[in-house]
Structure 1
């Protein structure tokens, strides 16, 4: 190779090129498009609510009753707005009229909706 080819090869080393990805196209989009794209990305990260059958609901009810009788902590898995959240604490009482479960941990007391519970584990 000639010295010019060596020079061009050194100057045009494509391994050092950093592509901006989708950022380079943002300037050509309308704000409405950007909003829809962001909303789509947020929605695609959401997890659908698991469908619980009668057996699952009965198992959750039995675990809550057991935890209340033994006064032990439980780990609740809650589904809300496409995301799972884990809560750990003791079950204080259940209000079936309001469909709410009252719990407390070492720092605070809180209430959760019964319809949002997808799993429960009794911690002994």
Structure 2
């Protein structure tokens, strides 16, 4: 006779719905990434890379922080808006994307 192990289902009876909700919330909070600090030297390097990319029409990969997550966007810088402190990026699928200066974590040239 073979025993069929039900895994975590057999322990589910010991948890209340509130406990499950709290555990789910706890796991989501553990995944959160605090905003990384970017020093002024890195910002200068980003500026140099962006200026070079705009002059030579190169594609860039912007790594940015939003809602406790790190995300990427790939595209060409169309315009740098100093007043609103945003980059206006044209993505590969012709979508326009606005990215705040303060959210940028890394900039690299895509080859």
Could you say which residue in structure 1 is the equivalent of 2:60?
74
User: Residues 3-82 of structure 1 correspond to what in structure 2 (within 5 A)?
Assistant: 11=1, 13=2, 16-21=3-8, 23-82=9-68
Q: For residues 91-110 of structure 1, what are the structure 2 equivalents within 5 Å?
A: 91-107=77-93, 108-110=95-97
TM-score by length of 2: 0.82
TM-score by length of 1: 0.75
Give the distance between the partners of 1:31 and 1:94, measured in 2 at CA.
49
Structure 2 CA distance for aligned equivalents of residues 90 and 112 of structure 1: 12
State the Cα deviation string for residues 89-119 of structure 1 (Å, max 9, x = none): 1001111221211010232111112211111
Q: Provide the secondary structure at the position in 2 that maps to 1:39.
A: helix
**Highest CA radius of gyration, 1 or 2?**
1
| Larger RCO (alpha carbons 8 Å, 6+ apart) | 2
Kindly tell me the number of residue pairs found equivalent between the two proteins.
110
RMSD of aligned Cα (Å): 2.0
Contact kept in structure 1, 2:78 and 2:89, CA below 8 Å: yes
